[in-house]
Amino acid sequence: MKSKKDWLFTGVILLLLAQGCNMPVTPTQEPESILPPIIEETSEPVPTVIEHQDMPISAPEAKPYPDVTSVDTASENRAPYGDSYENNRLERPFTQDMIYIPDMDISAFSISEDGEWYFVSIGLVGNNPNNASNIRYMLELDTNLDSFGDFMIVADPPYSESWTADNIKIYADTNKDSAGISPVRSDAPFTGNGYDKLISSPPEGIGDDFDIAWIRINAGPFAVVQFAFKKAFSGDSFMYAVMADAGLRDVARLDYVDYFTEKEAGSPVRDNLYYPLKELYAVDNTCLQAFGFAPSRFEPKICPDIVQPENIIRDPRGPTSPACELTFAVCQQMGFGGFDAATCSCVPIG
Ligand SMILES: [Ca+2]
Ligand SMILES: [Ca+2]
Ligand SMILES: [Ca+2]
Ligand SMILES: [Ca+2]
């Protein structure tokens, strides 16, 4: 049993404690509000650590298919030919001021394969894909062979000589308007959403396979830019095309010819009514190549069989390069009949 004295002592303690609650905070006590809330530490974004399982190694040789280049008329601020707006063939590796950008001028493209990968190589007139023009390279896949692209593999700088998937995004078109209404014609003015769904972006953690597509640069004279993608992604037969884009860089407005009239887009061809370039500039694309099936050649956008004398292909570094990398043997390996040392070109038989 507590004595009266004990009760008094307890009462004094309680009184002191009650006062303590109202007493000013002593300098040694840290105000609670200064302490960082624990939740902040755990809510900091955690960088996505990508653990790649499958990676391409080297690409087998391929036979390049030529694309028109503008290098010979660059000093005249014009493309020679090869820009056919009505047919979605763009040859406009120029700024709006008609300044030539050799590093985005596609000179050839090709495909090869190994057990797990397809490799699509792009030859350029220049050899610096990391050019300050911020050039985007794209690989379009039409997997159901209707000449409307289904997937666009997009790569943005900086690029490296070793394979990387860090700068790759893959977009899908979910409502079949990646070429507007007509797969080959300009449908301008057209309203659609082009490539409308981002299905893979390894750095953002988007997608369930971060190893689908890769890119590297300077792998060879006709592989200044080289993509690799998994065979399982595309299937065995498809059509593909490539594009270099330092202008709009907007996959939601592909095909670009569907969103601008030719008058709005301008033209790189001097005697065209709409010369020079206007809304649609710094872009070079190619026709569609068939892979894994025999095309009828009536497919919209399909590349024509090479007809002489267009069957000439130049070393991308050209005759001005101190060391031409082409030889007769290399040309033969690529299916050409001859080699012209004066212009560093593979030329057709005869
Ligand atoms: Ca070109
Ligand atoms: Ca398609
Ligand atoms: Ca169209
Ligand atoms: Ca779409």
Per-residue pLDDT of the chain (350 residues), as tens digits, is 445 555 545 544 444 444 444 444 444 454 455 555 555 555 555 556 778 999 999 999 998 998 999 999 999 999 988 899 999 999 999 999 999 999 999 999 999 999 999 999 999 999 999 999 999 999 999 999 999 999 999 999 999 999 999 999 999 999 999 999 999 999 999 999 999 999 999 999 999 999 999 999 999 989 999 999 999 999 999 999 999 999 999 999 999 999 999 999 999 999 999 999 999 999 999 999 999 999 998 999 999 876 544 456 666 555 555 566 677 766 666 667 677 777 777 777 54
Q: Give me the residues near ligand 2 (ion), CB cutoff below 5 Å.
A: 142, 144, 146, 148, 150
CA 192 – ligand 4 centroid, Å: 6
The predicted structure's pLDDT at residue 102: 97
Taking the CA of 148 as reference, the closest ligand is: 2
Cα distance between residue 203 and residue 216, in whole Å: 17
Q: Which stretches of 90-187 are assigned E, i.e. beta strand?
A: 91-92, 106-113, 117-124, 136-142, 151-155, 168-172
Taking the CA of 240 as reference, the closest ligand is: 2
CA 157 – ligand 3 centroid, Å: 28
CA 176 – ligand 2 centroid, Å: 7
CA 278 – ligand 3 centroid, Å: 19
Cα distance between residue 127 and residue 137, in whole Å: 13
The predicted structure's pLDDT at residue 27: 46
* Residue pair 130/96 in contact by the 8 Å Cβ criterion: no
Taking the CA of 177 as reference, the closest ligand is: 4
Taking the CA of 300 as reference, the closest ligand is: 3
Q: Which stretches of 10-145 are assigned E, i.e. beta strand?
A: 65-66, 91-92, 106-113, 117-124, 136-142
CA 303 – ligand 2 centroid, Å: 16
CA 125 – ligand 1 centroid, Å: 8
Taking the CA of 178 as reference, the closest ligand is: 4
Cα distance between residue 157 and residue 318, in whole Å: 24
- Is this model's pTM higher than 0.85 or not? no
The predicted structure's pLDDT at residue 262: 97
CA 257 – ligand 3 centroid, Å: 7
Tokens at residue 206, please?
């988007």
Cα distance between residue 106 and residue 289, in whole Å: 15
Cα distance between residue 22 and residue 52, in whole Å: 60
The predicted structure's pLDDT at residue 47: 58
The predicted structure's pLDDT at residue 339: 78
110: left (phi over 0), alpha (psi -120 to 50) or beta: beta
CA 168 – ligand 1 centroid, Å: 23
The predicted structure's pLDDT at residue 242: 98
The predicted structure's pLDDT at residue 288: 96
